Amino acid sequence: MPIVFLLSYGVLRLGGRAPPNVQVFSVPEIVAYFLMFFVGAIGEELGWQGYAYAGLKTGRSAPAVALIIGVIWGLRHVIPFAEMGRSAEWIFWQCLGAIAMRVIIVWLFASAGQSVPVAELFHVSINLSWGVFPIFGSFFDRFALFLILALVAAALVAVSGTSTLARFRFGRNQA
């Protein structure tokens, strides 16, 4: 995710837009954000990957399960985003980005032998990248971020196969 956010920043720069007044975070602030986001990711990924994935996987491909969970995950954030004053367009692209992020999470989860901690760490990287992006992620192009995430997700599906998303496994449970 840090690379994806850097790419989206590059898209902004190429388009002649750059965040004003970039905020620099100290190491203790970043550690505090990491710990805060880690606690939240534990609960979410235990639910999404540790519980929902197994139930939804029966009779479905891994990408199909990723899309189902991704849609639910994205929709779950609509009301909080609306309460934050985000526009309908912002919410739309953010939800599509969440679907692409879920495909990436499922790929990581499946490739690591269904490791929930791997999913949790990637989830933390999503929130941490957003949190330390200039001005708490408020100044970036959601559409560009979605396109980058969609390309990454599509490439992972193409390379890994559409059944399990785990053609190339790493980590534990390599059987």
Helices (H) and strands (E) in the chain, counts: 8, 0
What is the number of other CB atoms lying within 10 angstroms of the CB of residue 142?
20
Give the pLDDT score at 25. Answer: 81
pLDDT tens-place string over residues 12-23: 888 887 666 667
**111's tokens:** 């490739």
pLDDT tens-place string over residues 99-122: 999 999 999 999 999 999 999 999
- Which phi and psi (to 5°) does residue 138 adopt? -80, -15
Among the listed residues 60, 77, 53, the one whose alpha carbon sits nearest the alpha carbon of residue 127: 77
Residue % of the chain over a pLDDT of 70: 89
pLDDT tens-place string over residues 30-58: 899 999 999 999 999 999 999 999 999 99
Higher pLDDT, 68 or 4: 68
Minimum mean pLDDT range among 13-17, 87-91, 133-137: 133-137
List of long-range contacts for 19-22, beta carbons under 8 Å, 24+ apart? 19/134, 19/135, 19/139, 19/140, 20/135, 20/139, 21/134, 21/135, 22/134, 22/135
Among the listed residues 105, 42, 19, the one whose alpha carbon sits nearest the alpha carbon of residue 68: 105
- Measured CA to CA, the distance from residue 48 to residue 43 in angstroms comes to 9
Check pLDDT > 70 for residue 171. no
